[in-house]
Structure 1
């Protein structure tokens, strides 16, 4: 079967990451690049020997079956909706949109489109996370009784784009990093939280209006889950998810390490590998190829809306001081 044509909208660092992964994929072929400027699009397109132009050109090209949107969060609604209206499949990098209202607009557009939508919540394809989910499904930890996730990173304010620092444009820790945490918990626990209480604050960088710190406690059925996210000024990165069950405790880190303690100390089940990032991206593209070919689905728009709804629940809780339902 001939490779399916794909275009990338977004010629920044993640656009390059996607282009490199597509170039190595057996079922997808990069056909065009759209950038915020002609110069950025031309640089990326020339590197891979493909065309560059505007989104209208891409949407009118019958050789292009799918579009990957890797642009600032506030642009997702317009770009994804136009792509669906043109009848093409679309992969939107996380988060799906800035608000649940925008997510609803994309769900409505998908209903009348020949194209299908997918959200790039890609950490589920990281090798250590896939193994962790397998072990959980096998009952290695027993019945899950609690979980926690912590994501503390240097925010690198001076190197952040202006939209990263703007709440109105979908920036801040909850939308940039917190959505990763929520997705990982949903994926690993194979469950969805129905209530949440938490905070969203600007604690370390008063020069920006977007949040850089957050905490939350969510209920996944009867399982309590705690979350801490922080974009600190300086210090060490600490990213892990820990799940405690009746038989063991499991911890998986962003570096690709996976440990299980059944009472005799931590036993390592996975460690960092040189190709883990490539394998993660390959998993995401395999899923998108499945969407294009009609054989499978990745995280769909309804799922992406759930993640955004959880962030909105945190912000409502910040104002109300109470538990909030996740709608």
Structure 2
């Protein structure tokens, strides 16, 4: 009897010890690997030093301007006078950089942010090696990529690693408040069904090819302008917009791509660049692979697009527009509209808002002004409990939302928490699949203007 009791105690201690080891392993610092960085988003987790991230970062890439741009960005962060970072970069630039990364496995999480035509392979190989994958959007730019992405998610589940694309717009306070106010039934009611000509959910972005880092133009790689490498406009930036539609309108709900989403129409059109404009952006002349987009030396870039679709029966639209150069004092802008049975929630970021994201509330047709004013007062008191200083300021026939005090976070902090806990919300993966089902599905029957 004593022997049996001793065995039971020993087994219990072993189980507890094993559980502790597993828990500690999950909370162990994240060691980052950067694979073939070709986009500025490769540095998104290195803007400052984060708890949970090892300062030593291993970089594997082909030699060339893309990795040099990444290294220059890290060097600037490490040498800045205010809150400098302390990243220690270990660089490998052999032609066998991918195989070298997989063989050495110097980290447990890989950031993939570069040429989108390579992503499907990079993602698959990294997951096979047992690495968490943080891939910059888009994870898929063609219907074929989408099928490969679904397979990668299945493999990630078997390997017990995470695959996801960090979404910055979720952590902007204006978007957070639009989401929360839409969930406030006494104010918003429920989503209207809308129509293809008058959708109830609209997300739109304006972007610029030429941006400045200080006084110098920020460099974009030449392949960024090839839809066979970067993807169409509606499979690139629109990823953020489709994500915002799902996240704001159907919070914490698990979506079924085939059952909940129906593509109605999609179209795309070009932004044209002159040779001098292209060279200022890229530092190079036109490479051969872009010649198919040239006419009389003018480069036509299929960067602009629009998708009309329904999600759970609600008519939705996302559109993205690219211009050559951002105006002085401005930058990229975001627009979002949610139409409810009691109110509209509209996010604007134009000149009137001094290019700062500003949320407006307007009573829906048929809602009396006196009753709506009372509801506004009730909502104001309710939100002030969570956001001290929150206010709703009347201007004409609408109300401007003043956010008040809030605790800011960002996609890097969320990514760190996902990996340390080795867990994401139950809706994240199915909704990722729904998102790319929408964007890649939209190019099957795309029309060109």
* Short-chain TM bin: 0.7 to 0.9
Is the contact made by 1:104 and 1:305 (CA closer than 8 Å) also made in structure 2? no
Q: State how many pairs are aligned.
A: 314
Residues 108 and 189 of structure 1, relative CA distance in 2, 3 Å threshold:
same
Residues 209 and 310 of structure 1, relative CA distance in 2, 3 Å threshold:
farther
Is the contact made by 2:271 and 2:300 (CA closer than 8 Å) also made in structure 1? no
2:392 maps to what in 1?
A: none
Partner secondary structure for residue 266 of structure 2:
strand
2:338 maps to what in 1?
A: 243
Distance, in Å, in 2 between the alignment partners of 1:33 and 1:44 is: 14
2:263 maps to what in 1?
A: 195
2:150 maps to what in 1?
A: 107
1:169 aligns with 2:229: yes
Distance, in Å, in 1 between the alignment partners of 2:113 and 2:415 is: 14
Moved more, 57-66 or 143-152: 57-66
Is the contact made by 2:153 and 2:163 (CA closer than 8 Å) also made in structure 1? yes
1:325 maps to what in 2?
A: none
RMSD value, Cα: 3.4
Distance, in Å, in 2 between the alignment partners of 1:272 and 1:13 is: 30
Distance, in Å, in 2 between the alignment partners of 1:272 and 1:226 is: 32
Shift of residue 270 of structure 1? Answer: 2.9
1:93 aligns with 2:128: no
Alignment deviations for residues 240-282 of structure 1 (CA, whole Å, 9 cap, x no partner): 1011111111123564432323364122143899x96xx3233
2:308 maps to what in 1?
A: 217
Q: Quick check: which has more Rg, 1 or 2?
A: 2
Is the contact made by 2:234 and 2:319 (CA closer than 8 Å) also made in structure 1? no
Residues 235 and 68 of structure 1, relative CA distance in 2, 3 Å threshold:
closer
Q: Any residues of structure 2 matched to 1:143-154 within 5 Å, and which?
A: 143-145=190-192, 146-154=200-208
Partner secondary structure for residue 138 of structure 2:
coil
Moved more, 112-121 or 264-273: 264-273
Q: Any residues of structure 2 matched to 1:261-276 within 5 Å, and which?
A: 261-262=362-363, 264-270=397-403
Residues 252 and 298 of structure 1, relative CA distance in 2, 3 Å threshold:
farther
User: What stretches of structure 1 of length at least 5 have no aligned partner?
Assistant: 322-327
Q: Any residues of structure 2 matched to 1:1-327 within 5 Å, and which?
A: 1-11=27-37, 12-21=39-48, 23-24=49-50, 26-30=51-55, 31-37=57-63, 40=68, 47=78, 48-53=87-92, 54-61=97-104, 64-112=107-155, 113-114=158-159, 115-139=161-185, 140-145=187-192, 146-156=200-210, 160-190=220-250, 193-202=261-270, 204-205=272-273, 207-208=298-299, 210-233=301-324, 238-253=333-348, 255-262=356-363, 264-270=397-403, 279-286=409-416, 289-297=417-425, 302-319=430-447
Distance, in Å, in 2 between the alignment partners of 1:213 and 1:105 is: 25
Shift of residue 167 of structure 1? Answer: 1.3
